[in-house]
Structures are given as C-alpha cells and as structure tokens.
Amino acid sequence: MTQQRRRIDQVIDDSFTNDIEEISIDDLRSRRVICDELDTELSYYRRMLHGRMDLLDFELRRRSGEETRSLIEALPEILADTPSGRTSNPLDRGLSLDLPELAGGGKREVDQALSDGFLTHLPTTETDELRNIREVLSETELTVSNQRRAVYNAHDIITGEITRRYREGSASADEFLSQK
C-alpha cells in the first residue's frame, strides 16, 4: 500500500484492498479499524453539514414567507434531528477525530465549509449569498458521502476476507482476542 498522508486517501487507493488474500490478518484488522474510524469521522462531518444546511433551509423558507417563526424559536426543532437516534457527536462517545490538514497548510474542503462563520452573519447576509453557501455545503456533503461509500466498500471487502479466513480456519478470532 502506498504511503499516503490522509487515511481517506489510503482507503480510496486501490492498493488498500488489492491482493487482499496476501495481506496479513493483523494488517487486515488494522485496515478495518481505519475504516471504522473514518466512518465515524465522515458521519460526524455529514451531520455537521446537514445541521448547517437545515439552518440555511429554514432561514431561506423564513425569508420567502413560508415560515413565520424566528430561527431562535425553531432552533430546538432544527437541531433535534439526529440520525437513527444516535448521538451526532463522536466525541460524546469517547472517540477522537484525526483531522489533518492538506499539504501546504491548507484546509480540506469539508473543514473550509464547516469553518465558514456565515451563521454569525445570517441576518445581514443577502439571500443569494445564503443560496450560494447552501450550494457549497451541499456539494461538500456529496463529496463526504462519496468518501463514506468508498470506506463502506473497503470495509466490506476487508470484512469478507477476514470472515473467509475464519471460516476456512486460516485465522482464529481466539488469537485476536488473546492479543488484546
């Protein structure tokens, strides 16, 4: 596997799952952990993006007259929308996120989209600008969703290979548990 700086780049690279039968069981397990951690990170990003899009959608509906409540009045309802009843913040579950910057000191697209302070200027931001921000958030969410699908695919391939080895007897879950 080529050494890439970001974990998502490692997972998306074909070498992450190529020749999977030749990869040691310990390396397979490590790669599956990377996929699990990335899924948590990407889920968090998606939820953050969705929250901002929900706020913008509400404000745009309010400005068009479809909504009469203020953003503050609707905020509990807007923010209460969490997927599958799970906490939307992986840090609440004791997990940490690895958030490296891109080469050159820049930020990743999702970090740029989430760091935009448009919410503090929401009342004074022009409607067209809000629509543009909404579009950027939507495009970023699509990118994150595509990355998440790639992580799922890699996870499925790796889990399939681990399962095959357990079934054929070439690997043992007992060995793994005794190492912990």
Instruction: Give the rounded percent of residues in the chain with a pLDDT score beyond 70.
Output: 77
Q: 171 in a domain, yes or no?
A: yes
pTM of this prediction?
0.74
Q: 1 in a domain, yes or no?
A: no
Q: 19 in a domain, yes or no?
A: no
Q: 43 in a domain, yes or no?
A: yes
Q: 96 in a domain, yes or no?
A: no
Q: First vs last Cα of the chain: how many Å apart?
A: 25
Q: 170 in a domain, yes or no?
A: yes
| Interacting residues of 83 by C-beta distance below 8 A, sequence separation 6+ | 47
Low-confidence ranges of the chain (pLDDT < 70): 1-4, 81-108, 116, 173-180
Q: What is the pLDDT of residue 67?
A: 94
Q: DSSP state, 3?
A: -
Domain assignment of residue 65, given as a range:
26-81+111-175
Closest by CA position to 135, among listed 75, 89, 67, 143: 143
Contact 109, 140 (CB under 8 A): yes
Q: Considering its fold, how many domains does the chain have in total?
A: 1
